[in-house]
Amino acid sequence: MTKKAELEVVSCSICGSDKSQHLFDAKDYVYNNPGQWPVATCEGCGVIFMNPRIPPSEIGSYYPNDYYTIASGAPGQTSWGRALFEIPPARRGYNIVCKESSAKQLFSKLALPYTTRCALIKKLPVPVDGGTILDVGCGNGEMLTRYARLGWKTFGVEISPASAKFAAEAGHEMVVGEIFDGHYADEQFDAVTLWDSLEHIHNPMEVIQEVKRVLKPGGRIYISVPNVGSKYAKKFRDKWYMFTAPVHYYHYTGETLTKLLKNAGFSDVEISYPLAAVGMSHTLHIVWRDRPTLTKLMNNRLASRMLSWYDRFLPDGHVDAVAVRPASTK
């Protein structure tokens, strides 16, 4: 049972401003924690964040016990899925040969305009010969396993011991906790990724600065977060499945994500909006929860599958960023 936390007033982690404007009070429609939590916008940089918020020392009790995925860190794929995954890396500079049939290779090539925009393919880092990669908030290590297959030496940080155990068993060098607990060396990594984890972090500026410290000059940071500037967020607000109050501390747009990276000292920031699942099925369950006819329709197996596939093609629900640590840090 969730305990009642004393909310703390905080300054904006991105720009340091202590002035924010209240937007609305959000409810937890995803994990059903009782209560309401204030959502504010920073008057300095415009980022949307929880303020006052649940202290980081207590936020863990607001997650469900089964929140963290603890399935195998070695993802299974159909042969068609392997074809879709292998050909795009070859097109992006990886030394990989698709062993699928000519028909499947042709299918993958025809699908390339779509796959280059889909979230999975956009999560392919620029290849580095003998490169080292760190995934912050890596879960069960699924993405690290993909990177290992492409030749990366893989490291992960994960706050859940159970998930970290599965990632370690998949062959990745793991640290349980936050990135600071890794005590990594200066300029250790060629790439650092934060896939759907930055929104959970209460001190994003400190974390991004730590990422910059452990990246080699010229190394890249890769980020994907829910896009609070999307039409889904604007229409559904806290009922949007990706909003997830109160456990998402910060809610980003392309503009505020750019400000965070530039304020931390990164350069060459590139923002994109991949095709990715936006949680539409879950969102409609929330919105229609008091409408039995629509809820029954949502629970229909065929309708649910169709909506799930439709969801994969929706744009702008996420915002991705890639940035470079400059060669000179002065």
Residue range 20-75, pLDDT digits in tens: 999 999 999 999 999 999 999 999 999 999 999 999 999 999 998 766 554 433 44
For the chain, give the mean pLDDT: 87
Could you give the domains of the chain? 129-324 (3.40.50.150)
Cα gap 53→247, rounded to integer Å: 9
pLDDT tens for 111-160 read 655 555 565 667 889 999 999 999 999 999 989 998 998 899 999 999 99
Residue with tokens 């936006």: 278
CB neighbour class for 187 (10 Å; exposed up to 12, middle 13-18, buried from 19): middle
Give yes or no for a contact between 199 and 249, defined as CB atoms under 8 angstroms apart: yes
CA-wise closest residue to 104 among 74, 75, 83:
83
Helices 254-263 and 204-214, packing angle to 10 deg: 60
Picking from 14-23, 26-35, 254-263, 286-295, which range would have the lowest pLDDT averaged per residue? 286-295
- Put simply, whether the predicted model's pTM sits higher than 0.85 gets the answer yes
